[in-house]
Amino acid sequence: MPTTFDPLSSSAPFHKLFDLTGTTAIVTGAGSVGPGIGIGRASAILLADAGARVGLLDIDRAAAEETHRMISRRGGTSLVAIADLAEDRAVLEAVSQVVANFGPVNTLVNNVGIVGPGGTAEFVDLEAWDAGMRVNVKSMVIASRHVVPIMRSAGGGSIVNISSIAGLGGGYPSLFYPTSKGTIINLTKAMATQHGRDGIRVNTVAPGQVLTPRIEMRGLSTEMRAARNHISALGIEGTGWDPAYAVVFLASRAARWITGVVLPVDGGVTGTLPLESPPSK
């Protein structure tokens, strides 16, 4: 585990704490469901910008290869490894491919996820429920089971699980999405306890209503986007880059004493309690 950075006894500049040169990262769901910047793609690009060699794991080859091209244009290093991330053997082969090319994994970003089926407990499609939990939760367990031994042998590492503020409470119209995202939060806390003495930190980033290609595909009107922005304390729109900045921080040496944490990146939605409607314009 990285030792404490003491700025009074070191000549190295503070920003070097965020330098990931010489490390290897894996991002699951590193492509994007459409043109633009989703959280997985943004995380992969920023990790590469910080100097990491990045394995881009995705089931969609074209989407992952576009992320690879974007990283290459910025001078970064990455490779594409195609896998159904809820299939144990496929993930093992993908992780092995990354390790063979880049060396031991220091950072794992478990990002892959879907919205899943709608409906309450009365009406949700149970087969779709099982398929959704396979993607949103099982994939994180599988990726972690193949990366944790590598991190342990290397002396530690950082795992960042992407959840959602929907997993922090009720108020969501469907049952599946907040349930799966809440499960990720407790998965993170359990893993942080189980692997901390191995030097492995495990944290969650919980994005709010950021604008990503998946959201844009829903065809949000100007009014709908304005309404989404009004519920945040800042009143501005987040993008896929905002959670990704948090990912890079949690992967860095600056976060060496942070584990088991749920970090909302939501413009202040979870930190405020609106007592009145926003003023009309």
DSSP strand E in the chain: where? 24-28, 53-58, 77-82, 107-110, 157-162, 200-207, 262-265
Lookup: tokens for 262: 């749920």
Nearest Cα neighbor of 80 from 48, 109, 111, 54 is 54
- Tell me the whole-structure pTM to 2 decimals: 0.92
| pLDDT of the residue at 219 | 63
Contact between residue 137 and residue 187 where contact means Cβ atoms under 8 Å apart: yes
| pLDDT of the residue at 275 | 54
| pLDDT of the residue at 19 | 96
Nearest Cα neighbor of 165 from 264, 44, 43, 39 is 264
Q: Which of 177, 180, 201, 212 is catalytic?
A: 177
Compute the distance between CA of residue 78 and CA of residue 54 in angstroms, rounded to an integer. Answer: 5
| pLDDT of the residue at 278 | 52
| pLDDT of the residue at 251 | 98
Of 3.40.190.10, 3.40.50.720, 3.30.530.20, 3.30.420.40, the CATH number of 21-266 is 3.40.50.720
Q: Give per-10-residue mean pLDDT for the chain (281 aa).
A: 68 84 98 90 98 98 98 98 98 98 98 96 98 98 98 98 94 93 98 98 94 68 70 85 97 97 94 61 51
Domain boundaries, the chain: 21-266
177 is annotated as an active-site residue: yes
Compute the distance between CA of residue 160 and CA of residue 192 in angstroms, rounded to an integer. Answer: 11
